Amino acid sequence: MNRTVMYGLLAIVACGSCGEKRENVTKTPTRVKTEVVAEKGQTGTQTYVGIVEAREATAVSFTGMGVVKRMLVSEGQAVQRGQLLAEMDDTQARNLLVGAEAQMKQADDALERYTQLHESGSLPEVQWVEIQSKVAQAKSQVEIARKNLADCQLKAPVSGVVGRKQVKAGETALPSQAVVTILDISAVKVKVAIPEEEIGSIHAHTPTDVYVKAVDRKVNGGTIEKGVVADALTHTYDIRITLPNADRQLLPGMVASVRFHTSMRQADGEQLPTLPVTSVQRKADGSLFVWTVDRENSARRTAVTIGHTVGNRVTILGGLDAGERVVCEGYQKLSEGTKVVF
């Protein structure tokens, strides 16, 4: 009997320990992410992915055809307006200039001789006009030849950074074919594609925060340029946000995370609080609710009424008060009264 009683006591203790462990497991709080409901009148946020672009890109090319003799700049090099970028073989241009100057000298000599005859009245007026025309033609040919020779040198029309070299030394350059591209990155623009249903909430001075991970920089965006033609396939509009870039660390092609602080309003103009769309759940009867966290850090179902959506957020028309904490992530593990940490 004593042995039986002892086994019974051990079994009770063991069951008690199991119950205590089960109770401890049950009481382990569930980790979630939350968001506090903002006061009415505060703005919502929308986040998009954008691409950094140069403020201006200038394609520089020769005006004539010829073999490129020298390239004097490299990609990424800063250049100033008027700086020599490349040279074309100018042998033919120089020969044409020599010939034009010889004709000009011949015409000037003839003009000098005929001037004396004209002043003495022994030269017909027709011949005088003809010699003047030849001098003018010779002068024009010299100017053209000098221009062609000067065009064998490619100079920067603007200051900036060489973005890409598209022709190498020894290759033949064609008229209007881009030899180099000069980028103005003293300021840059971030291009973002905005869905057509959301473009109305963005205006020229909508506040933005731009984060570029490549250089670990967060910048407050400037003026916004809104496109007016939608992409036929995606039904999005391109907008561009100007960013300062005095140190030239932001480079074209970098990926940026762009957050717009947009106002969501009712018809009477009152701004409404917003929540992520995914935080709103639907019951079997079709009613909507969110998981809120009370003062004891317990999860509670709270019925809500929603309005329109902008981006990944939805306006809250009723059911929540400013300052209430709503679960945005991790709600799949919750039930009424579940303890949470955030």
What dihedral angle (degrees, nearest 10) is formed by the CA atoms of 284, 285, 290, 293?
A: -80
Question: Does the residue 50 lie in any domain?
Answer: yes
**Distance (Å, whole) CA 15 – CA 27:** 18
Same domain, residue pair 251 and 274: no
Question: Does the residue 237 lie in any domain?
Answer: yes
Question: Does the residue 226 lie in any domain?
Answer: yes
**Overall domain count for the chain:** 3
Q: Which two tokens stand for residue 327?
A: 């679960």
- The CATH number of whichever domain residue 234 belongs to comes to 2.40.30.170
Same domain, residue pair 256 and 279: no
The pLDDT profile of the chain, 342 residues, written as one tens digit per residue, is 455 444 444 444 444 444 444 444 456 889 999 988 876 544 556 688 999 999 999 999 999 999 999 999 999 899 999 999 999 999 999 999 999 999 999 888 888 888 878 787 778 888 888 888 889 999 999 999 999 999 999 999 999 999 989 999 999 999 989 999 999 999 999 999 988 877 877 888 888 899 999 999 999 999 999 999 998 888 899 999 999 998 889 999 999 999 887 654 444 445 677 888 889 999 989 899 999 999 999 999 999 999 877 667 788 888 998 889 999 999 898 999 999 998
Question: Does the residue 335 lie in any domain?
Answer: yes
Same domain, residue pair 249 and 289: no
Question: Does the residue 63 lie in any domain?
Answer: no
**Distance (Å, whole) CA 168 – CA 157:** 20
Same domain, residue pair 258 and 301: no
Question: Does the residue 59 lie in any domain?
Answer: no
268-323 confidence digits (pLDDT tens): 445 677 888 889 999 989 899 999 999 999 999 999 999 877 667 788 888 998 88
Same domain, residue pair 292 and 329: yes
- The CATH number of whichever domain residue 126 belongs to comes to 1.10.287.470
158-197 confidence digits (pLDDT tens): 999 999 899 999 999 999 899 999 999 999 999 999 888 7
Question: Does the residue 168 lie in any domain?
Answer: no
Same domain, residue pair 229 and 286: no
Question: Does the residue 157 lie in any domain?
Answer: no
The boundaries of the domain holding residue 329 are 29-41+270-341
Q: Which two tokens stand for residue 133?
A: 């025309």
Same domain, residue pair 232 and 257: yes
